[in-house]
Chains A and B, each alone.
Chain A
Amino acid sequence: MSRIGVFVCHCGENIGRTVDAAEVARASGNLPGVAHATDYKYMCSDPGQALIKQAVAEKKLDGVVVAACSPHMHEKTFRRATAGAGVNPFLCEMANIREHCSWIHENRPAATAKAIDITRSIVEKLKRNAPLEPIRIPVERRALVIGGGIAGIQAALDIADGGREVVLVEKGPSIGGHMSQLSETFPTLDCSQCILTPRMVEVYQHPRIKLLAYSEVEAVEGYIGNFNVTIRRKARGLDETKCNGCGQCQASCPQKKIPSEFDAGLGKRTAIYVPFPQAVPNIPVIDSGHCARWKGIVKGLKKFACGKCIEACGRGAITFDLEDKIVTEKVGAVVVATGFQLYEIGRDHEADGLKGYGEYGYGRIPDVIDGLQFERLASASGPTAGKLQRPSDGKEPRTIVFLQCVGSRDPAKGIEYCSKICCMYVAKHTMLYRHKVHDGRAVVFYMDIRAGGKGYEEFVRRAIEEDGAEYVRGRVSRLERDGDVVRVQGFDTLSGEPVTIDADLVVLATAMRSQPGIEALAQKLSVSYDRHGFINEAHPKLRPVETNTAGIYVAGACQAPRDIPDSVAMASAAASKVLGLFSNAELEREPNVARVDEATCAGCFHCRRVCAYGAVERKEIRDKKGNLVKVVASVNRGVCQGCGTCQATCPGKSVELEGFTDPQIYAAINAFQG
């Protein structure tokens, strides 16, 4: 390359204040191989880009260096401009004289000298660039959605309505997620099931949605546009095609005392059960842990116990077929929407390093419950049919104390993050309560109220001003059972005085945590997660629904604590990303991927073991007669994300990243010697 153009940007004052851009252009103009150098106030502006195109045409430039900001910001802009001028876009490079120079230095002459060094280094690199062509990959235009909560439901419906097939995998017996357990929802107080169940039915009836409930993702292989997914369909113990959901089996089951997960342990269910009346699909499962017959079969007993449900079923649907089935699906994109779990304060959390809240007596004092349990008590479909009765003796509580931030914002014992939704649902709970028990007392202990959102602050004000909720700022140190009541001992930090309240019921707004087992799923998908187990987005601001693995998107509370409106918005965003990906039968990808030099590769496969994306494969090299000569590494260009880890790891440097080859990097470093 002998006719390189160097374009130095002032970035207004951003660069211009500390770096003399005209001087950088002048010095660069003297470099061997540079045919043209100039500076301009805003290179990324339309006139700035026009300047580049014009210079390429007039001076017959064969390479472009833009000395400006980080390639993260504008590499695409300038590569497009270069391509527009008829030069291969990968013969355009950026020299970062902003983040790496003007922003971090004060001394103008020294910063200018450094900017000249940086630019020279990139000019030397560019001389060793090769023109590259984008990679084209065929796209399987079907999506997998993992998790059938509101986020997964929304994503599946949007993609299916957009004309593409969806496989929706839900691990529980029914879709619906946590939203199906809620009574009414903030900020509008509409009935949760009334707005959710129509969407669940829509999923069930949609011709382009394949619902695989009671199933889990076993393995995911492949890459964007081409994933092969293995799914385990857990044994329900009955033939789904024969069952019509009549419920005779449930009525006949003698095991009637099993705590219901749907009712958060406050109600009971049978061993063969449909979790709730509006479940989708409306097909029962047999709970292997509680069914006497199932346990007998597993133990290998000759004479089977029970079998009442088999007799009760008029359609011969109950087979006691205990084999899980494995199915495979080919999809082009994946949406992860596995939601959250509540911090179970009753459980021992030593394994996750959390200290728990023994002093609140959860699990020991029956009238200390968590938010989901309150939702069930307040719900018309709940164990008390919506009558507020406390668990211990069924009495209507006259005083309820709500504690916010239990486990959240508490680095000492819980988790340091804010669970975001509790302020709102506690306000909702006080309203639901006061609407049912007009003269009851609702007292809330809070740290501060976080009610950002449309209509949210108004909602909390309404709870306080219209529905008479009493808000006490402070933490509660102890809950103790005293005869009939739960004694709440706290501290009002505004008045500076201790407070003691005798409550009939205490509701703990416990932290939202990631789903158990999410790490294993994330590892199967090669997506990263933070140390709390929430899935990481590719960029917190600019790529909120993408993950670091191309073709895998994230929606809802599995990414961070969030409420229904946010979960739905995120799901629709993820769906639109998927539909965007599916808009073409082929996908173009940046060609900055790794390439193995098969002649020198030793086949040690360090690169294969360190590649976080599983992009490195084994390749056998055979001679003409078919004899194995050697086994070498080979990079799947569809999977490789261009992270460069393999290049850094390979001892003999036999694998290189296109666009960042060893000769390029060496030249760039060497140029600093002046």
Chain B
Amino acid sequence: MKELQDLAAKLLAEKTVGLVIGWEQGPRGARPAFVADPKDAGRLIFDNRCVHNLAAYLSPRRPHLRGFGRIAVAVKGCDVRAVAGLVRESQLKREDVVLLGVRCGGVHDEPTDAGPLTAENLADRCVGCEVREPPRCDHVLGELPPAPPSRDGRRAGRIAELDALDHAARFAFWRQELSRCVRCNACRQVCPLCTCERCLADKTDPPWIESSPHTRANFAWHATRALHLAGRCVDCGECERACPAGIPLNLIGRKVAAVVERRFGYRTTDDPQVPAPIGAWKPDDGQEFIR
């Protein structure tokens, strides 16, 4: 923690960066912190409540942060994939950001949860994590904490259960879940990869996706979001955490990721040079019609 605070203060004092984005203690658990003054660097923390994927603040659709010039941002190993996504899709120049990688031993589901991690309270995406040592960062900070407790992935189990249902039952499940969506767009706003200048859902001519929250429109919205994030979603869980209606959005993300992996042999990676299937055309594509 001290290491992070000292480095942040140094980078700000030297004017290497104009802003450091990290986490701090809020009134209800951990929360994102924006530090522009080296004197404030002492606010920065990192512990197992720092669940937020701060890469979302690097999106060019947040112009108010642009005024700070270069930004340093604290990232967990898994958050690096979102940064890579932004670089891959020309939304961020890698040299415009300083990545402060923090060695991670897993996080809780919510920033308000506290206490040591157990097999019970560990966030699902941390199960079997392979990037506790953050890759491709400019600085890697902290001691490597012990590996998180091991257990089976909950969502994988839930997806298997849903896959086992017949079509009608599975449809009924999603109808019931998605009918609760109030179309607040929180899932989109918080997503580090939803970087469109004008989201399809906001297109009015034609109105592909109706804006009122009824089940048919909600299906259109979520099918669109699922397809747009296919092979791009980094499984940070922010959408599901942001959703006021408690819709299990990560089940969709995970399921689609599995399909993408099976069909295209692609897993979201922290290498920005590897194109994601949505934006790739290969002359030797397995499917002949597209060549």
* Complex contacts, A654 vs chain B, CB 8 Å: 196-198
Q: Across the two chains, which residue of chain A brings its CB closest to B275? A: A609
CA distance A331 to B205 in the complex (A): 42
State the Cβ distance, A671 to closest chain B Cβ, in Å: 12
Q: Are A652 and B208 in contact (CB under 8 A)?
A: no
Answer whether residue B206 sits at the interface, using C-beta atoms and an 8 A cutoff: yes
**Contact A600 to B198, CB < 8 A, known contacts A606-B89, A611-B281, A653-B208:** yes
**Contact stretch, chosen from B96-104, B141-149, B283-291:** B283-291
State the Cβ distance, B258 to closest chain A Cβ, in Å: 21
Q: Across the two chains, which residue of chain B brings its CB closest to A530? A: B288
> Which of B200, B205, B279 gathers most chain A CB within 10 Å?
B279
Q: Are B279 and A609 in contact (CB under 8 A)?
A: yes
Find B196's partner among A529, A602, A609, A612 (CB 8 Å cutoff): A602
Answer whether residue B10 sits at the interface, using C-beta atoms and an 8 A cutoff: no
Q: Are A609 and B203 in contact (CB under 8 A)?
A: no
Question: In residues 439-494 of chain A, which contact B (Cβ within 8 Å)?
Answer: none
Q: Are A528 and B291 in contact (CB under 8 A)?
A: yes
Please report A residues at the B interface, Cβ cutoff 8 Å: 519, 522-523, 528-531, 599-606, 609-612, 630-631, 645, 649, 651-654, 662-663, 665-667
* Complex contacts, B207 vs chain A, CB 8 Å: 666
* Complex contacts, A653 vs chain B, CB 8 Å: 200, 203, 208
Q: Across the two chains, which residue of chain B brings its CB closest to A520? A: B283
Q: Are B90 and A603 in contact (CB under 8 A)?
A: yes
Classify the secondary structure of B's interface with A: loop
Q: What class of interface size applies to chain B in its complex with A?
A: 20 to 34
Find B280's partner among A528, A609, A651, A662 (CB 8 Å cutoff): A609
Known: A602-B60, A605-B89, A609-B279. 15 other contacts (CB 8 A): A519-B284, A528-B291, A531-B288, A603-B197, A604-B91, A604-B279, A605-B90, A610-B280, A631-B90, A651-B200, A652-B200, A654-B196, A654-B197, A654-B198, A666-B207
Please report B residues at the A interface, Cβ cutoff 8 Å: 60, 89-91, 195-200, 203, 205-208, 228, 275, 278-281, 283-284, 288, 290-291
CA distance A467 to B209 in the complex (A): 77
CA distance A600 to B291 in the complex (A): 30
CA distance A207 to B251 in the complex (A): 70
Q: Which 8 A-B pairs have the closest CB atoms?
A: A666-B206, A606-B279, A652-B196, A600-B198, A602-B197, A609-B279, A604-B89, A651-B228
State the Cβ distance, A227 to closest chain B Cβ, in Å: 18
Q: Across the two chains, which residue of chain B brings its CB closest to A608? A: B279
Q: Are B197 and A601 in contact (CB under 8 A)?
A: yes
Q: Are B206 and A663 in contact (CB under 8 A)?
A: yes
CA distance A272 to B200 in the complex (A): 65
* Complex contacts, B199 vs chain A, CB 8 Å: 651-652
Q: Are A600 and B206 in contact (CB under 8 A)?
A: no
22 CB contacts below 8 A, A to B, read A519-B283, A519-B284, A599-B197, A600-B196, A600-B197, A602-B91, A602-B195, A602-B197, A603-B197, A605-B279, A609-B275, A612-B281, A649-B279, A651-B278, A652-B196, A652-B203, A653-B208, A654-B196, A654-B197, A662-B206, A663-B205, A667-B206
* Complex contacts, A601 vs chain B, CB 8 Å: 197
